[in-house]
Amino acid sequence: MSTFDLKIRPKSGWQPLDLPEAFLYRELLGFLIWRDIKIRYRQTALGGLWAVLQPLIAMTIFTFVFHRLAGVHSDGPPYALFAFAGLTPWTFFATAVNQSSNSLISNQQLVSKVYFPRIFIPLGAVGALLLDMLLSILLLLGLMIFYGWALTWAVLWLPLFMLAAIMSASGIGLMLSALNVNFRDVKYAVPFLIQMGLFVTPVIYPASYLSSKWRYVLALNPMAGVVEGFRHALLGSPIHWNSTAISLGIGALLFVAGLLVFRRLEARFADVI
């Protein structure tokens, strides 16, 4: 049986991710993801159905209010499919940011008593929601069969946009979880910001409603490109690649910034929490 020495030393300044340490504890990340999945659906009557009920109910409401009453139209596919394709990544992102931002506070006994890469706690909260997103995609495929809407070769882009959603949610979640340790009012601001974010993300309306100038402003939102990308990949909707590339690039920058901020503040977690 092989053994190894682990030396824990205090670090200061901006620190990159310790990849050898993360690889050493990789099984712990899988355990945290599985634990969060079990906790979420423990003692629930509908279990995993909640993963698809939320976007399905929201799709029904949006179709009635915004499409039937307000006259908002999609950019090609039936509005119900259009709304559900946008809600799939947005629901994942909103829930992931909300849960990961509170993850360190919810696991304060674990943080203060045991050494392990703390970064796995918010990342585990995000990773546990991948199951929900996959179930929503499967339901969307079923709805596409119901509406007679066929997949195209654009579906090959789907893994890229899924990865972009994960990186955006992880980057913001890492930053907010680290800040939440020192500033507990973060947990009150996050739900409000997520609610407002729905209206500056093209979930309810297509980005084609905006002029070219405002489309590039919208691209500053990392989830704008993800939502448009999901619709392109699954429904074959038109996509503006320039603004989408900007949006995805900002999501990647947020992920790197989240790692740096988290590592910068990590040394004080056990003392402050």
Across the range 147-162, mean pLDDT stands at 94
Residues 55/136, Cβ–Cβ less than 8 Å: yes
- Encode pLDDT of 17-41 as tens digits: 767 777 777 888 888 888 888 877 7
Residue 73 pLDDT greater than 90, yes or no: no
pLDDT mean across residues, the chain? 86
Q: pTM of the full predicted structure?
A: 0.89
Residue 6 pLDDT greater than 70, yes or no: no
- Using CA atoms, how far residue 27 sits from 24, 51, 66, 117, 218, in Å, is 8, 25, 45, 12, 38
- The pLDDT assigned to 142 comes to 94
pLDDT band (50, 70, 90) for residue 265: confident
Distance between CA 83 and CA 88 in Å, rounded? 9
- The pLDDT assigned to 271 comes to 64
- Using CA atoms, how far residue 235 sits from 97, 107, 138, 188, 232, in Å, is 26, 40, 13, 36, 6
- Write down the residue that tokens 């712990």 correspond to: 28
Q: Please, which residues have CB within 8 angstroms of residue 86's CB and are 6 or more apart in sequence?
A: 201, 202, 203, 204, 227, 230, 231
